A and B are shown apart, each in its own frame.
Chain A
Amino acid sequence: MIEIRIHGRGGQGGVTLAKILAASEHCEGNSVQAFGVYAAERSGAPVQAYLRIDDEPIHNPNQIYEPDHLIVLDPTLISPAILSGLKPGGWILLNCEKSPEYYAAQERVATFRIATIDATSIAVKNGLGSKTVPIVNTALAGAAAQLLGMNLESVIEAFDDFGFHGGNIKAAREAWDAVRVQQQAPRPGERHQQVMPHERGPGILDGNTGAAPALRTGQWANQQPVWQNATPPCNFICPAGNDVQGFLAALTEEDVNSALEILLQTSPLPSVCGRVCPGFCMTQCNRSELEGPVNVRALERYAGDHGETQISVTGQRLEKVAVVGAGPAGLSGAYHLARLGYGVTIFEAGSELGGLMRTGIPSYRLPREALDRDIGRIMALGVQAILDTRIDHHRLEQLTHEFDAVLAATGLQKLTSVDLGVDLGSGKGQVMQGIEFLDHARQGSINVEGEEVIVIGGGNTAIDAARSAFRLGASDVRIIYRRTRDEMPAIPEEVDDAIDEGIRIDFLCSPIRMRRDDGKRLLSCQRMELGEPDNSGRRRPIAIPGEEFEIPCGRVILAIGQAADFSLLPHDAVLSKTQPIETDGEAPVYPAGDLLTNEGTVTAAIGCGRDMALMLHERFSGEKLYTDPPAAETVVRADRIRLQHFDRHHRHDENVLPFADRKSSFDEVRQGLEDVVEAKRCLSCGVCNTCDRCVTYCPDGVLKRVGREIVFDYDYCKGCGVCMSECSRAVIYMKAG
């Protein structure tokens, strides 16, 4: 007689396995007996089943205490109790992915022969049972048949009695082939006798009952939840490196001061960014899948304008750093260096701090007070500023001797031009650069009243120039852009506003030359079409031969881009984001902002200024304060957000200045949010916001919140995955275990 004991967990199909093998042996002409021990099996609870095979009729009705072999459906079940009574030299068939040798090396099973089969994977592959509780019995039947020297076809024949087809048959065949048996002979040994219990236990009248159950249900689990904050897409993309989700979370609690504090960890210019950032985060916002992205820009502005917090110097350094240029990159670098305790001196060519933020962005978009507030915060850290001082190549070299390091953030000083057959003149002529126009407009030193103004370009400068011209009383303002709306680099909302204000945009249109005809100025243009994408990923405009036309124009404003002027740097300087420009005997020069990256936004410049400042700090202190960007896979995209958990809420937009009030006024168009309710729309993608759905829904109460973190009691967690399913924001995931 062969006696086999099967150890499994409720739901794995251990009892049915005994019956399948019995039926299979019956097909081979043997006497068989199979039965399970029925108690309170639940999915996952330990279950035993018994199988007897003999060529004589079987009479014994008892459970099997001294088995010849064991089949173990879950290797975590192996314990002295399970091994008790097993005949030395008998085999143990284990469901696991490991090799027999892995277990054979363990002392407690050294006297048995180990065989392994990864029945769980086979079951999952063949769609048997659920992911949490795969039904492994048919795969194990195939493996056991191999060990018992049975014909596999007997097993397949037996399956028919159980109504098992398809995946079950495949699973059995795969396991028949894949089962691995320990080659080395097991060590000889004694059979451990099983002792029958006989102790008297407590009675119903005893007071010492009611203790907690002794079951470690964590051992039932074949997967375990893990709580791990991931990367929200907004944070991932923000060029300034802002913790977007973080400051929104603070605003959710209406804690404006904390929100500002979070922003100021990365960017000193929240009031600026809250107005002029293109909103990279908003293009990635998963809320777009519901009713549109969270209005992050407006919320940042709110925090910057209304938050109050004390920013202080956190360290103390002896080194002195010169910062060249007081644009966003320079200011950002100066801010972070000053906070770290460096002595910082800013050299600025202009008469005020702010660079293009002051001269190139009209005040209806960025009022002076907002800019001054942000800059004031920086200067309050003790930063020195030397104005009206242009740093050229020679002066930079001097600075490398006067200071311990130089941060060069001069931005884009070269203006791109186009030959329209007319001189650009003094900057106040009929053709002028957009940047200059905006500076004149700011100072009130230009008059375009009644003029037909044409702006060439598709970036923010073009839109700003057009809308400024409109405000200065131009009779007609139109923008000429050689691609289409989709390729325009300008902030979409600004383009919308421009159109709303009556500014026409001629797309797929490129200027050729300006001429005068009968007292009128005309701009002849070339009609374009889009071809293959260029280096920027945008489709390249191609001229359509023969399609030229003329439009009347009083004044042409060129806003077709700027470029960096590297002449101030050492001649052979190699610009890099990872190391400074080093010249023997001179302090290192760290390029930053558009000079280095030419990304063209305030936000990117802020980020770059900070990155270079922190790199500089690492060089002097050895302290690495920046973190490497997270891997793209850690970014939680909309497909991992449980959108169905969220109610629909319309986006809160800022109030805008009525159109009637915009003509002839540079008053700020967007007037900010009245409150921070909009922040509540943030889905907090990948970042636990302590919503505690996981705690609420856990069937077993094995999750606890400790501070802001979730802690699992793995001793008891059954691995059902409800917490993972109910986590709205993909903070909890299941790992096999």
Chain B
Amino acid sequence: MSAANPPSTRTSTHTDCLLRPGNTNCGGCGMSTGLTMLGRALADEDYSLVIPACCGIVTAGAFPTTSYTVPVVASTFASSPAVASGVAAVNELNAKPDEKPKHVICWAGDGGTYDIGIATLSAAAERNENLIYICYDNEIYGNTGGQRSSATPAAAKTTTTPGGKGERKKEIIEIMAAHRIPYAATLSIAHPEDFQDKIHKALNIRGFRFFLVHAPCPTGWKTEPAESIELVSLAVRSGVFPLYEVFDGIDYHINADPDDTDPGEYFGMQKRFSGQDFDLLSVTRNIHERLDRLRRLSGISVDRISEL
């Protein structure tokens, strides 16, 4: 039974250290950096996390210890937005009249978001639950050793697509935008200021807010851990992972327009894209098609872009 009023175990570093050192994540883990940045962005906020089955919950460590400095609920794989809906509902019921309810944030991998959890996610978005959902996208079932998910990009080799994946990845932001949620955006850990700005923006929006963080997985991507940030930076510059946001599901803004960086630089650093059958040309074409579409949605004439 719980002791009566045990002393606070909230650490003094709580304000900016969300994920404590000594966690079990691999070195160079993009998800870890994402959590670290999230912690800094939320340094002044009261919030709790809901994390479904994924590396994000495993890294909490073994009971009774935890790597997290905020309350965390581990949910079943598909359930994080539903569990968070319950948490959020109670926060709302108990918010003081002149205060905003405490925040609840789902932190889920791409498997839990794009695949098994998408129905739950869709429903919570449709109900416009007052919560923030962040998908850290390492494009793989990393926790189970690197199987393909519907977020795995075309041509990537995984343990279940040894010859490279044949299909393209889901456009999750567009799926979320189609729910007409108030805010959806991509985040890159190579763009910490944009990361922080968008999180702060989301804090002042009521309703369902969705983020997609590009999270390199050195183990699954077969990359040098030290190059994680460089990789995602290249992904932004080359248009592989554009930084953009969507307001109310219709109003698109590109935050960092890609330059003429060759996507081949990004792919070349990852052994998951190695092999003679990797068709850089067609992959690049897909990237440019996506970019053009995104630019059109953002109200930028594609002709004008190609002149730039």
Bound CA–CA A217/B229 (angstroms):
21
Number of interface residues of B (CB under 8 A): 47
* Cβ-defined contact, A720 with B66, below 8 A: no
Does more than half of chain A's interface fall in helix, strand or loop, or is it mixed? loop
Q: Which residues of A contact B66 (CB under 8 A)?
A: 209-213
> How many residue pairs bridge A and B at CB < 8 Å?
161
Q: How far is the CA of A199 from the CA of B17 in the complex (A)?
A: 32
The 8 closest A-B pairs by CB, nearest first: A721-B226, A720-B27, A716-B21, A43-B26, A699-B32, A209-B64, A718-B27, A720-B28
Whether B58 and A722, one on each chain, are in contact in the complex, defined by CB atoms closer than 8 angstroms, is no
Given the contacts A40-B58, A213-B22, A721 and B65 also touching, CB distance less than 8 Å: no
Q: How far is the CA of A700 from the CA of B28 in the complex (A)?
A: 9
B29: Cβ under 8 A from any A Cβ: yes
User: A204 contacts which chain B residues (CB < 8 A)?
Assistant: 63
Contact B22 A215 (CB under 8 A): yes
The segment out of A60-68, A125-133, A372-380, A480-488 that lies at the interface is A125-133
A698 at interface, CB cutoff 8 A: yes
Bound complex: CA A220 to CA B23 (Å): 12
Q: Is the CB of B61 within 8 A of A213?
A: yes
Q: Mark A702-737, 1 if CB is under 8 A from B, else 0.
A: 100000000001011111111011100000001000
B265 to chain A: closest residue by CB: A644
How far, in whole Å, are A132 and B65 apart by their CA atoms in the complex?
27
Q: Is the pair A207, B3 in contact by a Cβ cutoff of 8 Å?
A: yes
Write out the residue numbers on chain B whose beta carbons fall within 8 Å of the beta carbon of A726.
Answer: 229-230
Confirm or deny: B67 has a beta carbon within 8 angstroms of a beta carbon on chain A. yes
Which residues from A are CB-within-8-Å of B147?
A: none
Contact of B218 among A130, A201, A215, A644 (CB under 8 A): A130
Interface centre among B19, B23, B189 (most CB of A within 10 A): B23
B42 to chain A, nearest CB (A): 14
List the B side residues contacting A702 at CB < 8 Å: 21
Q: Which residues of A are found within 8 Å of B1, using beta-carbon distances? A: 205-206
Cross-chain contact of A216 among B22, B62, B218, B219 (Cβ < 8 A): B22
Taking a contact as CB atoms under 8 Å apart, the answer to whether B33 and A716 are in contact is no
Q: Are A697 and B229 in contact (CB under 8 A)?
A: yes
A722→B33 CA distance, assembly (Å): 10
Main SS of chain B's interface residues? loop
Q: Cβ of A208: which chain B residues have Cβ within 8 Å of it?
A: 3, 6, 64
B218 engages A43 (CB within 8 Å): yes
In the bound complex, how far is the Cα of B64 from the Cα of A202, in angstroms? 7
Instruction: Tell me how far the C-beta of B109 lies from the nearest C-beta in chain A, rounded to whole angstroms.
Output: 14
* A701 lies within 8 A of chain B by Cβ: yes
B11 to chain A: which residues have CB within 8 Å? Answer: 212
A44 within 8 A of B: yes
Chain A contacts with B in 614-658, Cβ cutoff 8 A:
644
- Chain A residues lying within 8 Å of B58, measured Cβ to Cβ, are 40, 42
A721 touches B224 (CB 8 A): yes
Interfacial chain B residues near A216, Cβ < 8 Å: 22
Whether, in the assembled complex, B276 has its beta carbon less than 8 Å from a beta carbon of chain A, the answer is no
- For A11, the closest partner residue in chain B by CB is B219
Our pick among A44, A45, A130 for the contact of B223 (Cβ within 8 Å) is A130
B234 closest partner in A (C-beta) = A644
B20 at the interface (CB under 8 A from A): yes
Q: Is A438 an interface residue (CB 8 A)?
A: no
What CA separation (Å) do A130 and B58 show in the bound complex?
A: 23
Shortest B8–chain A CB gap in Å is 11
Which of chain A's residues has its CB closest to B29's CB?
Answer: A699
- Which positions in A face B, CB cutoff 8 Å? 10-11, 40, 42-45, 130-133, 201-202, 204-217, 220-221, 644, 696-702, 713, 715-722, 724-726, 734
Taking beta carbons and an 8 Å cutoff, which residues of B are in contact with A?
1-3, 6, 9, 11, 17, 19-30, 32-33, 36-37, 55, 58-59, 61-67, 189, 192, 218-219, 222-230, 233
CB-CB under 8 A from B218, the residues of chain A are 43, 130, 132, 720
B63 and A42 form a contact (CB under 8 A): no
Contact at B65–A44, with CB atoms within 8 Å? no
Can you identify 24 A-B contacts, CB atoms within 8 angstroms?
A10-B26, A130-B222, A132-B224, A133-B27, A206-B1, A206-B3, A207-B2, A207-B6, A208-B3, A213-B23, A213-B62, A213-B65, A697-B192, A699-B25, A716-B22, A720-B26, A720-B228, A721-B28, A725-B226, A725-B228, A725-B229, A726-B229, A726-B230, A734-B226
Residues on B with beta carbons closer than 8 Å to the beta carbon of A213 = 20, 22-24, 61-62, 65-67
Q: How far is the CA of A535 from the CA of B238 in the complex (A)?
A: 50
- Check A211 against B64 for contact (C-beta < 8 Å): yes
Asked whether B27 lies within 8 Å of A220 as measured between CB atoms, the reply is yes
Known: A132-B28, A217-B21, A217-B23. A698 touches B33 (CB 8 A): yes
Q: How far is the CA of A11 from the CA of B218 in the complex (A)?
A: 11
Question: Are B225's CB and A720's CB within 8 A?
Answer: yes
A734 proximity list for chain B (CB < 8 A): 226
**Chain B residues with CB below 8 A from A700, complex form:** 19, 21, 23, 25, 32, 36
CA distance A699 to B27 in the complex (A): 7
How far does the Cβ of B90 sit from chain A's closest Cβ, in whole Å? 19
Nearest-Cβ distance from residue B163 to partner chain A, whole angstroms: 14
Bound CA span A698–B32, Å: 8
Cβ–Cβ < 8 Å partners of A205 in chain B: 1-2
Identify which of A215, A221, A716 gathers the most chain B CB atoms within 10 Å of its CB: A215
Q: Are B6 and A212 closer than 8 Å at their CB atoms? A: no
A725-B227 contact in complex given A208-B3, A699-B25, A701-B17, C-beta closer than 8 Å: yes
| Distance between B47 CB and nearest chain A CB, rounded to angstroms | 16
With a 10 A CB-CB cut-off, give which of B6, B9, B11 has the most chain A CB atoms. Answer: B9
How distant is A405 from chain B, measured CB to nearest CB, in Å?
54
Contact flag A212-B65 (CB < 8 Å), given A40-B58, A43-B27: yes
Q: Are A210 and B64 in contact (CB under 8 A)?
A: yes
Which residues in B have their C-beta under 8 angstroms from that of A131?
A: 224, 226
Cβ of B220 to closest chain A Cβ, rounded Å: 10
Are A212's CB and B24's CB within 8 A? no
A209, A713, A724, A734 pick with most chain B CB within 10 angstroms? A209
Residue among B17, B20, B65, B229 with most chain A CB within 10 A: B229
**A45 contact from B24, B28, B32, B226, Cβ within 8 A:** B24
A-chain residues with CB within 8 Å of residue B233 when the two chains form the complex = 644
B64 touching A206 by the CB < 8 A rule? yes
Residues of B within 8 A of A206 (CB): 1-3, 64
| Chain A nearest Cβ from B208, distance in angstroms | 28
Which residues of the partner chain B approach A721 to less than 8 Å between Cβ atoms? 27-28, 224-226
Minimum CB–CB distance from B26 to chain A (whole Å) comes to 3
- B32 proximity list for chain A (CB < 8 A): 699-700
Across-interface contacts of A713 in B (CB, < 8 A):
21
- Smallest Cβ-Cβ distance to B23: which chain A residue: A213
Contacts of A10 in B (CB 8 A): 26
Q: Given the complex, which residues of A lie within 8 Å of B223, measured CB to CB? A: 130
* CB-defined contacts of B55 to chain A, threshold 8 Å: 42
Contacting residue for A725 out of B6, B21, B67, B230, CB 8 A? B230
Minimal Cβ-Cβ distance residue in B for A719: B27
Chain A residue, CB-CB nearest to B219: A43
Could you list 15 further interchain pairs (A-B, Cβ under 8 angstroms) beyond the known A206-B2, A720-B26? A11-B219, A132-B27, A132-B225, A210-B64, A210-B66, A215-B24, A217-B21, A699-B33, A700-B36, A701-B17, A715-B21, A720-B225, A720-B226, A722-B226, A725-B227
Contact of B226 among A210, A221, A717, A724 (CB under 8 A): A724
Q: Write the nearest CB–CB distance from A587 to chain B, whole angstroms.
A: 59
Minimum C-beta distance from B192 to chain A (A): 5
* Least distance between A33 CB and chain B CB atoms (Å): 22
Given A42-B24, A45-B24, A214–B65 Cβ distance below 8 Å?
yes
Tell me the nearest residue of chain A to B271, going by C-beta.
A130
Which residue in chain A gives the minimum CB-CB distance to B66? A210
Bound-complex Cα distance A156 to B92 (A): 64
